[in-house]
Amino acid sequence: MTTHRLQAQSIGQVDYLAAYEAMQAFTAARSESTPDELWLCEHPPVFTQGLAGAASHVLAPGPIPVVATNRGGQVTYHGPGQVVAYPLLDLRRAGYFVKEYVYRLEEAVIRTLGAVGVTGLRVRGAPGIYVRPDDPGSHRRRLEPAPGEGLFDGLAKIAALGIKVSRHCTYHGVALNVAMDLEPYSRINPCGYAGLRTVDLSTIGVTTTWNEVAAVLGRELEALLAP
């Protein structure tokens, strides 16, 4: 059997709708022998609404466009200073299912954060990765809230995840906040949660660059999404 190695390629800043249409076209045209790809990019300011998204979660978009997409999940924001990773992967060939795929995406983000001394956390039932802004290096793990604790008490979201699987092939992906203008998040209920705080690495005291984070996340995804 031929091995198809997933290889990251940085495509720089690209309009969201152009990237979305390119992912759809790539997936529709691919065959069983098409090599998998991993696109790393960033987008000009845009709100994207997933299939489960309610219009009421877009509070005040202002001049920022809102694009309806076919990914899972609710509304999120993309903008400069955010690393967006789009794995275009044949899951049947990779040999694992969607639940495992999501776990591996999140694990790649967790390892990328770990490389800069930040502990990334999962919250059961709320896809994406979270951090403790007041203690980002804490190693105390948290899958679900303690008794009497709210779902996101003490946490903020740093990476959003939304995927689409068509004919066993993935597109859309994960977005990790590096150094952004975070104000647009106040114009939505991020991922459908009113009041959910969203941060980036800069906010929690990490000085790094888009290129550095993209390179690490790309390497982690290449390794973790392998068959």
Active-site residue set: 191
Task: Please list, in sequence order, all residues whose beta carbon lies within 8 angstroms of the beta carbon of residue 133, skipping any fewer than 6 positions away.
Answer: 155, 156, 197, 199, 203, 204
The closest alpha carbon to 56, from 173, 193, 152, belongs to 193
The closest alpha carbon to 72, from 92, 93, 48, belongs to 48
Contact 109, 176 (CB under 8 A): yes
Burial of 193 (0-12, 13-18, 19+ CB in 10 A): middle
> At 155, phi and psi to the nearest 5?
-120, 160
